[in-house]
Structure 1
Amino acid sequence: MSTLQKKRKEIHAAIRSAAIQEFARNGLSGTSTQAIAQTAGITKAQLHYYISSKEELYQQVLSDIVGEYKDIFFLSASRDDPALAITQYIERKVRHTLEFPDLSRFFANEIARGAPEMAPHWAALKAAVEEANAVIRQWVDSGKIAPVDPLLFQMNIWAVTQHYAEYEAQARVLMDKPENEPLDAERIIAEATRLFLYRCGLSGKKVETP
């Protein structure tokens, strides 16, 4: 990779990071390209060299988020072992949430305002959810787990695992964690895992993750 290519890659990464941060805090209408440029450490003119509009950038970030959520959906690699699949998914989801809290806040803000920009992305997200629903139904039908509503089971996992980004300020106060200290990932993962394995009738299952 040439020096110029490396520089462009760095600027693209800075723009994406700045966009996520600004959109997560202020939404699409409340974010200006000037704010994105300032957060990225570049001029507004430089920003517009790389993007055509903030709306296009917003769509790019939404597409990235949906892609990342699809990638960490938990069923493809361990679908024959529900305890392992659920355990691995919760761990990946919590760690992703704690490492990239602005991504969760960005997505939550978009959904909270009625998801006006999500039309191009629903099909991909729903397809991944339906695939997971089908596997969970197989688990239930084969007696591997207690009966659950596959869709609501997934939605409840999202709610719990994303809570620590969307309500981070509250979590920090209640857990006595100042801003300069990370939230306790192991504690959060352990409790969430026990909760959802118990719901599936798998509470006594010892799971060793790779």
Structure 2
Amino acid sequence: MQAREGMRKPMTIVETKRTRMRETIRDAAIREFARNGLSGTSTQAIADAAGISKAQLHYYISSKEDLYQEVLGHILAEWREIFLLSSNRDDPRTAIRTYIQRKIQQALDHPEISRLFAREMARGAPEMAKHWPGLRAAVDEAAEVIRGWIAEGKIAPVDPLLFQINIWAVAQHYADYEMQARMLMGTGPDAPLDAARISEEAIQLFLLRCGLSDTERAS
């Protein structure tokens, strides 16, 4: 029986192995770029972080610069996915709560992602030219959802763009300034930051800005 049109064929063992290796390389590159930036990171350092030889690395990538572009695209796609998975057009309270929880959890679990992006912004974002249109489109899509809530009287009027930027700022603070948060919260280097406490405070802050009271406070 032929596979239905449009159905994705399962990956072969070789394809699965290749995909996993590319993910390993990408994750290693994110850590190295976050720590040392594009110019300060060598392909040897990425290979070492990925646990492979430099020759193996170059089998999978054409250059350090192309890998950096791939990483930036991956980060922005992940952030867009977090919004889309959280978005509930009929229930702003649930959408805002879920979005903030997921943004903060990602910042706590993968701080290197935020740090890499912050490093790129701090140097004037010279590598972002091809990525701005996609980011702009994602932000505009989210802003349209927020404008719909305002028009329907579901939330108080807010600036749809700045509302998003302010959520990012709060969430990413715990990645970019992790050591400050740990010191002030009395959290040791081997203990996780209190995601529930951090998320709940941020959720209440942004729900109140929208004129919403939250009956789903964490216990």
TM over 0.5: yes
Q: Name the counterpart of 2:102.
A: 92
Q: Name the counterpart of 2:148.
A: 138
Does the aligned pair in 2 maintain the 1:83–1:207 contact within 8 Å? Answer: no
- TM-score when normalising by structure 2: 0.88
Of residues 193, 201, 215, the one that matches 1:206 is 215
Does the aligned pair in 2 maintain the 1:18–1:40 contact within 8 Å? Answer: yes
Coordinate RMSD, CA, aligned? 1.9
**Percent of residue pairs bearing the same amino acid type:** 62
CA deviations over 1:171-202 (Å, ceiling 9, x no partner): 11111112211111111111000000011111
By how many angstroms is 1:6 displaced?
A: 4.7
By how many angstroms is 1:43 displaced?
A: 1.2
Pair 1:85–1:35, CA change in 2 (3 A): same
Q: Letter of the 1:192 partner, please give it.
A: A
Q: Letter of the 2:190 partner, please give it.
A: N
1:107 matches 2:94 = no
**Helix, strand or coil at the partner of 1:45:** helix
Distance 1:153 1:77 in 2: 15
Q: Letter of the 2:159 partner, please give it.
A: D
Distance 1:164 1:104 in 2: 9
Distance 2:138 2:106 in 1: 18
Within 5 Å, which residues of 2 pair with 1:25-64? 25-64=35-74
By how many angstroms is 1:4 displaced?
A: 4.7
Pair 1:83–1:21, CA change in 2 (3 A): same
Distance 2:88 2:187 in 1: 34
Q: Which runs of 5+ in 2 are unaligned?
A: 1-10
The number of equivalent residue pairs is 208
By how many angstroms is 1:205 displaced?
A: 2.9
By how many angstroms is 1:94 displaced?
A: 0.9
